[in-house]
Structure 1
Amino acid sequence: MSAGLLGDSSVDDLDRSPARGDRRGARWQAAAVGVVVALGVALRVHSPSALWLDEAISVDISGLPLADVPEALRRDGAPPLYALLLWGWERVVGDSATEVRWLSSLFGLAALPAAAVAGARLAGRSGAVAALLLLATSPFAVYYSTEARMYSLVVLLVLCGLLALDGYLRRPGAARGVLVAVVTAALALTHYWSLFLLAVAGGGLLASAWRARSTARARAAAWMAAGGLLFLPWLPSFLYQFAHTGTPWASPIGWFAALQSTVVAWAGGGGRTTALVLAAVLLLLAGIGVTAVSASGSRVELDLRGRPPGRVLAVGVGGTLALALAVGRLTGAAFEARYTSVVLPLFLLLAAVGLARLPRAVRTPVLAVAVVAGVAGAVPDVYFEHKTQTAVVADALQAQALPGDVVVYCPDQLGPAVSRLLPGSLRQEVYPTGGSPERVDWADYAERNSGADPTAYGRAVSDRAGGSAVWLVFHTHYRTYEGQCEELAETLTGLRGDPLRLVEPDSRYFESAHLVGWAPLPTPGP
C-alpha cells in the first residue's frame, strides 16, 4: 500500500491516547457535537431573502429548454455543470426561491461528512471532529449553502477530490483513477477558479513524483489530465467566454486587498468583532497545522519549514490563490471572495490539523471559541441581512403600476431579480438594448454600454409608453454605466415632469435600487 496524500492518521494524530474520562463526559461531548452539527444543518436549509442578481440569472437559465441552456451560459460566462443540475432540480422540486436554494443546501450538507472523513485521515478522531465543526459553523459555507449558485457544490467537489486522490495514492487502481478523473472534470465544469487548484495539484503531484520517484503520483496526475478530456466539449464556449465576457462589472484589486477580503469573508465579514475573532483563531490554527511537530502538556514544538500533511494543504491554498490573483492581474479579471470557495475546505482542514495538534487542555476551549464565533457570524448573514432590495421594489411596483406600464432597468443587472416577481401585464425592458430583463448578456458588455445614448433611449421609451406610465429601477454606482442612468432619468423628467419617488437605496442590502415613476403623457385633443 502506498502513502496517501493526507498522511496516516495513526501517525498524524498527536493525541493518540484518549482521555480516561468517565462515560458521562464522553456522552456530553458527543451531545455537544451533535447540537452544533444540527445547528449547522438548520442554518443551511432556509434564507428569507429574495433571489439576487446571480441567483435569478441561474434560475432563469435553468428554466430554459435544455437545448437552449448551453448558448445562454456561453453569453453568461459560467461553466455548465451547476446549471444542468439545477435544470433537473427545478423540474423535480420547483423553481421558487426556497426550492432552488435547497439544491445548494443539499451540497452543503453532503460536504459535512466528507469534511469529517478528510479530517480523520489527516489527524484521527480529533481532526474529524474539528473539521466537521469548523465547516458546520463556517459563516462562508453556511451563506453559500443558502444561495442558488455553484459555490457549495465547489466545496463538496473539492473535498471529494481530495479524498479520491488520497484514496488512489493509498491503493492505486483503475476504479479509483476513474473517480479522480470524474471529480477533476466536475470541478473544471463547475467553476473556472477550480482550474487554478487543479493546476497546482497536478503540478505538485508531478514534482513530488519526480523527487520521490513515485509512479503512483505520476499516474494520479495522468488521471487528472484524463479528466480534462471531459472538459473538451465545453472548450469552444470557454474560449468564447474568455474573449467576450470576463468581469466587466468590477476591476482588479491588489494582492493584499484580495487576501484580506478573503480571510474576512471566510470569517463572516461585515466588520463584526466575532468575524475578527474567528479570523484570528483560524489563521493561528492554520499556522500551527503547517508547522506543529509535537505537543505535550502545555507545550507545542514547531518546525517553520512545515510538516506534512499541513504543508500539502498550505501549498494547495496558497498556490491556488497566488496563481488566481496573478492571472487576474494579467487578464484584468475581477476578484470576488466567493470564488475562493475552491480553497475554503482546504483551509478549514488545515485549521483542523492545527487544532488536533494542540494539547488536549487547550484544544476544546479553542474549538469552542471558533464554533461560537462562527455561529455568531452565520446567523445574521442568513436570517437578518437580506441579499437584495428586490422584494421592496417589486412590492412598490405592484402597488402602483397599472397593466401596460413600462418598467425600465438601468443597469440591466437589476432586471433579473425584480422582473421575476412582477406580473406579465407590465412591459419590462433593460437599458440600453431595450431587451428582456430576465438575463444579462455579458458578451462584449463594456463596449456595448460605452456606445449607448441615454438621451435617445429616454425619448424612445417615452414614445413607446405613450399614455402609460414609465417606471425606472436604477442605481448610480455600476461600472460601465457611469452617469448614464442619471442622464436617462433627467431625460424622462424633461419629457414627463417630476417623477414619483417610491424607493430609495438601502445600504443594509447587498443589492439595492431606486424606484421612480413618471405619469402617462396627456392624451392629445381632437
Structure 2
Amino acid sequence: MVIFGGILALAAGLRACKLGQLSFWYDEIVTMRLATAPTPATLFDRLFQIDATRAPLHPLLLQRWIGLFGSSEAAGRSLSVVCGIVTVGLVYWIGLLVFDRATGLWAAWLAAISPPLVYYSREARMYALLVMIACLCWGLLFSLRKSSSHGKSIAYALCLAALVYCHPLGLLMAATLGLGSFLFVRQFFDRRQRWLGVHLAALLLAAPWIRHYFDHDPEFLSGRLPLKFLIGTPIGFIGGNSVVLLGLLILIGFGLLLRRGVFAGYSDWSGPACLVLWLVVPPTLLYAYSWLGNPVFGPSRYTLYTTPAYLILVAQGLARLPLLTRACVAVALALLIVLELGATVYAPGLKADWRAFSTELAARMARSPGTKVTVFVKSSDPVRNTEIQTARYYLPGRCRIVPLEDAVSARPGNEPSGEVYVAVGTKERVARLPLADVFEIRSMSAFAGLTVYRVVGPHRS
C-alpha cells in the first residue's frame, strides 16, 4: 500500500501543481458561466444557450463545488483534480480485478503521469469526470465476475446513466459496456434476463435527456480525417510516435501471450477482451459517425475515456517483463512522458492570460475613471473567435469588447473614443498587430498566450 499511496501522491502533485496559474480558456468559461448560475433552473436555461454539449451533470456538481470553495481558477478546476486522482485509484482496482496486483500498480503509475489524463484533470470541464465514471462502470462490471449482488448491479446501472448525463460521448461508452457484458453475460450477470433488466433500467434513467444531444448542430467540426488518425489514437495516451505505438502493442501482445495459461477458457478472457473493446469500440463508433454524420472525430478529449484501457493493457505486458528489461522500459516511458508533460500540460503559454491583462487594465481604468475603453479581440483560432467570450468574462464591466473584424466594418464617424486596445490570442511569444494599416501603435504588452496593443484608430483611408 505504500507504493500505491506514493502513486496517488504523485497523481495529486502533477494535477494540483500551479493549478490556478493559467487563466480559464473558452470552454472553461462556458462551464464557469453555468456553474456560477444562482440556481439550478438558471443553470439549465444557460445550458441550452451557451453549451453545445448540453450535458448537465458536471456543471450541476461544479455549482455545488464552487459554492463551497469559490469560483477562482484553482477552485473551479479542483473538482477535476479530485476526479483525476480517483481515476488513478480506479485504474489500480481494474488492473487488480482483471490481472494482478503488479498490473494494477503499473497501470496506476501510468495513469498518474499520462499527459492527457493530467491535462484534463487540470481543466474546469467534464472530461475528468467522464473518465472517472467510465472507470467506475468498468470496475463495477469486472467486480460482478467475483461476486454478483443486487447492490453492485444497481450501482452499475446508475453509473451507466451518469455516463450519459455527463457527456454525449457517454452514449458510446454505455453501448460498449452493454456489448462487452452481453458477450460474456454468464460471467457478469449469470443470465440474460438480468443483463437486460440492468441495462433497461439504465436506459430508462437516461432516456429523458438523450434527445437533447441530437436537437442541435455541433459547435465544432473537425472535417473527415483519414483512417490513420483513428489507428494512431493511442499515441496521445502516453506520447511518442507510430514506432512507440507499435512497440507498446507488441508489449501488450507479449503480456497476453504469457498469460494464456492463466486465461485458459473463453470465460477467462472476459476481462482482457472487454479492455480491448473499451479501447477500440468508442473511437471506432465516433469515427464512423464522423463519416456518416457530423465530422467531430479528432480532438483528443473525445477519446480520453479510453485511455485507462490502453494503460492497463500496457501495464500487464510491462509486469511480465524480466526485472531489468522492465526497469529500462519504465524509465524510457517516464522520459517520454516528462517531455510530453512539459510541452502540453505545463507550457506557460498554453492558455491566453486574460486575467493578467484584466488586472493591468482595471488598474489603468481606476486612475482615469471617466475614460471610455474599447478592446478589439482577435482569436488565435482562425475559424472561431472564442477569445471574445473569455474577454467578456475577465475584463472590467465598463469595457466595450468588440470582435476585431467589427473594427473594419464600423461606419465612418462611429470610431471608438477614449482608450483603444487590440488583444490578440497567440500560440507564439508575441503576435503581430492585425490590420496594422488602420491602427497606430502607442504601446505593446505581452502576456502568456496574449499580445495586447494600445492603439489609436481605426483610421479610415
TM over 0.5: yes
Alignment of 1:320-335 (within 5 A): 320-334=282-296, 335=298
In the alignment, structure 1 residue 409 sits paired with structure 2 residue 377: yes
Match of 1:123 among 91, 99, 103: 99
Q: Give the distance between the partners of 2:43 and 2:115, measured in 1 at CA.
A: 32
Match of 1:423 among 378, 386, 396: 396
Bigger radius of gyration, 1 or 2?
A: 1
Shift of 1:37: 4.1
Match of 2:143 among 163, 167, 170: 167
Q: Show CA shifts across 1:206-234 (max 9, x none).
A: 34449x99753552354133212222332
3-state SS, counterpart of residue 228 of structure 1: helix
Q: Is the 1:61–1:83 Cα contact (8 Å) retained in structure 2?
A: yes
One-letter amino acid of the counterpart of residue 375, structure 2: V
In the alignment, structure 1 residue 67 sits paired with structure 2 residue 19: no
Gap runs ≥5 in structure 1: 1-29, 433-452, 478-485
Q: Give the distance between the partners of 1:493 and 1:427, measured in 2 at CA.
A: 22
**Cα pair distance change 1:228/1:288, threshold 3 Å:** farther
Q: Is the 1:267–1:278 Cα contact (8 Å) retained in structure 2?
A: no
3-state SS, counterpart of residue 160 of structure 1: helix
Aligned twin of 1:350: 313
Match of 1:463 among 393, 398, 414: 414
In the alignment, structure 1 residue 224 sits paired with structure 2 residue 199: yes
Q: Is the 1:141–1:152 Cα contact (8 Å) retained in structure 2?
A: yes
Q: Give the distance between the partners of 1:107 and 1:352, measured in 2 at CA.
A: 21
Alignment of 1:262-277 (within 5 A): 262-268=233-239
Q: Give the distance between the partners of 2:219 and 2:234, measured in 1 at CA.
A: 24
In the alignment, structure 1 residue 286 sits paired with structure 2 residue 263: no
3-state SS, counterpart of residue 22 of structure 2: coil
Q: Give the distance between the partners of 1:77 and 1:331, measured in 2 at CA.
A: 17
**Cα pair distance change 1:327/1:338, threshold 3 Å:** same
**Cα pair distance change 1:108/1:119, threshold 3 Å:** same
Aligned twin of 1:312: 274
**Cα pair distance change 1:85/1:256, threshold 3 Å:** same
Shift of 1:161: 0.5
Q: Give the distance between the partners of 1:157 and 1:349, measured in 2 at CA.
A: 16
Aligned twin of 1:519: 456
**Cα pair distance change 1:302/1:385, threshold 3 Å:** farther
In the alignment, structure 1 residue 147 sits paired with structure 2 residue 110: no
In the alignment, structure 1 residue 363 sits paired with structure 2 residue 317: no
Aligned twin of 2:381: none
Q: Give the distance between the partners of 1:31 and 1:315, measured in 2 at CA.
A: 32
Match of 2:226 among 246, 254, 260: 254
Q: Give the distance between the partners of 2:156 and 2:131, measured in 1 at CA.
A: 16
3-state SS, counterpart of residue 51 of structure 1: coil
Aligned twin of 2:83: 107
Aligned twin of 2:440: 498
Shift of 1:396: 6.3
Q: Is the 2:34–2:43 Cα contact (8 Å) retained in structure 1?
A: yes
**Cα pair distance change 1:379/1:513, threshold 3 Å:** closer
One-letter amino acid of the counterpart of residue 389, structure 1: A
Aligned twin of 1:22: none
Aligned twin of 1:93: 69
**Cα pair distance change 1:399/1:358, threshold 3 Å:** same
| TM-score calculated relative to the size of structure 1 | 0.72
Matched residues, number? 437
One-letter amino acid of the counterpart of residue 63, structure 1: T
Q: Give the distance between the partners of 2:194 and 2:84, measured in 1 at CA.
A: 31
Q: Is the 2:420–2:455 Cα contact (8 Å) retained in structure 1?
A: yes
**Cα pair distance change 1:91/1:155, threshold 3 Å:** same
Match of 2:212 among 233, 237, 241: 237
Aligned twin of 1:54: 27
Q: Give the distance between the partners of 2:44 and 2:352, measured in 1 at CA.
A: 30
**Cα pair distance change 1:254/1:218, threshold 3 Å:** farther
Q: Which has the higher contact order (CA 8 A, sep 6+)?
A: 1
Q: Give the distance between the partners of 1:503 and 1:374, measured in 2 at CA.
A: 33
Q: Give the distance between the partners of 1:473 and 1:302, measured in 2 at CA.
A: 63
Shift of 1:93: 0.3
3-state SS, counterpart of residue 391 of structure 2: helix
Q: Is the 2:181–2:188 Cα contact (8 Å) retained in structure 1?
A: no
Alignment of 1:20-39 (within 5 A): 35-39=6-10
Aligned twin of 2:174: 198
Shift of 1:179: 0.6
| TM-score calculated relative to the size of structure 2 | 0.81
3-state SS, counterpart of residue 409 of structure 1: strand
Shift of 1:519: 2.8
In the alignment, structure 1 residue 41 sits paired with structure 2 residue 12: yes
Q: Give the distance between the partners of 1:33 and 1:276, measured in 2 at CA.
A: 31
Q: Does 167-176 or 90-99 show the bigger shift?
A: 167-176
Q: Give the distance between the partners of 1:165 and 1:85, measured in 2 at CA.
A: 25
Shift of 1:98: 1.0
Shift of 1:135: 1.0
One-letter amino acid of the counterpart of residue 252, structure 1: R
Q: Show CA shifts across 1:212-265 (max 9, x none).
A: 99753552354133212222332342232xx333424x43322212443x3332
Alignment of 1:428-443 (within 5 A): 428-430=401-403
**Cα pair distance change 1:112/1:150, threshold 3 Å:** same
3-state SS, counterpart of residue 372 of structure 2: coil
**Cα pair distance change 1:41/1:339, threshold 3 Å:** same
Shift of 1:99: 1.1
Q: Show CA shifts across 1:472-511 (max 9, x none).
A: 335699xxxxxxxx9x965x965xx53556357x9xx7xx
Q: Give the distance between the partners of 1:102 and 1:83, measured in 2 at CA.
A: 13
Q: Give the distance between the partners of 1:345 and 1:31, measured in 2 at CA.
A: 22
RMSD: 3.8
Q: Is the 1:412–1:431 Cα contact (8 Å) retained in structure 2?
A: no
**Cα pair distance change 1:383/1:342, threshold 3 Å:** closer
